[in-house]
Every structure is written in structure tokens, then in C-alpha cells.
């Protein structure tokens, strides 16, 4: 086992600050609430339940105790808005043309 390893672990207990995980026969770990999701986590049980098996990333090792992350493997990709050509011309660019057309129609 080393930092950066990807492991599967079973959720054994849930506390307000994190979820405890059994990894194999030799390790126990904690997914701190801050490592559950990039979004605000009000209740960990909205994300995991006791008995769930999750794929996790090892952040730190202290003897047989692991610090684990769920969000490191499940980051949401940033979405970028793409400006599509809608075929519309901004008002500022069309205003002069409209004023000219109005003047021609009304004999001004």
C-alpha cells in the first residue's frame, strides 16, 4: 500500500465528520467529510451508506490507518459555456441601420 494507490473499501461506520472504511484485512481508513465531494456536504449519508463498497484514493498512511478520498476519483468535469453563433446581431450594431431605415421610410 502506498500514497496514491486506488483501493476498494467497505463503509463500516458513518459519523458527522466522515465515513470509516475497511480496506482488505489489514487496513482501516477514514474518508473525511471534505473528501466526499467538491460540493458542500451537509449529510454524509446522502453520499454513502454503511455496507457500501467504494473505490477510493489513498491520501496518507499512518501504520494500518489510511486517509482516503472519494472526490479525488470522482471529480466533476468543469463545463464551459460555448457561445454559439445564433445569427443575431447585437442591438448596438443594428441601431444605426434601423434609424437610417426609419428615416428613409418616413421621409426625414
**Rg over CA atoms, the chain:** 28
Which architecture does CATH list for 6-69?
Beta Barrel (2.40)
Does this model's pTM top 0.75?
no
Q: Retrieve residue 82's grid coordinates.
A: 460555448
Strands (DSSP E) along the chain, which ranges? 6-15, 18-23, 27-32, 53-62, 65-69
Strands (DSSP E) along 16-75, which ranges? 18-23, 27-32, 53-62, 65-69
Return the higher-pLDDT residue of 100 and 78: 100
List pLDDT tens digits, range 51-92.
Answer: 999 999 999 999 999 999 999 987 765 555 555 555 666 676
**Can you give the residue ranges of every domain in the chain?**
6-69
Amino acid at each position: 500500500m502506498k500514497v496514491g494507490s486506488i483501493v476498494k473499501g467497505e463503509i463500516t461506520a458513518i459519523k458527522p465528520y466522515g465515513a470509516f472504511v475497511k480496506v482488505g484485512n489489514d487496513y482501516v481508513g477514514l474518508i473525511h467529510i471534505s473528501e466526499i465531494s467538491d460540493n458542500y456536504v451537509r449529510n454524509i449519508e446522502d453520499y454513502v451508506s454503511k455496507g457500501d463498497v467504494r473505490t477510493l484514493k489513498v491520501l496518507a498512511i499512518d501504520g494500518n490507518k489510511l486517509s482516503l478520498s472519494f472526490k479525488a476519483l470522482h471529480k466533476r468535469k468543469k463545463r464551459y459555456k460555448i457561445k454559439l453563433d445564433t445569427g443575431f446581431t447585437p442591438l448596438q450594431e443594428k441601431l444605426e441601420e434601423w434609424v437610417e431605415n426609419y428615416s428613409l421610410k418616413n421621409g426625414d
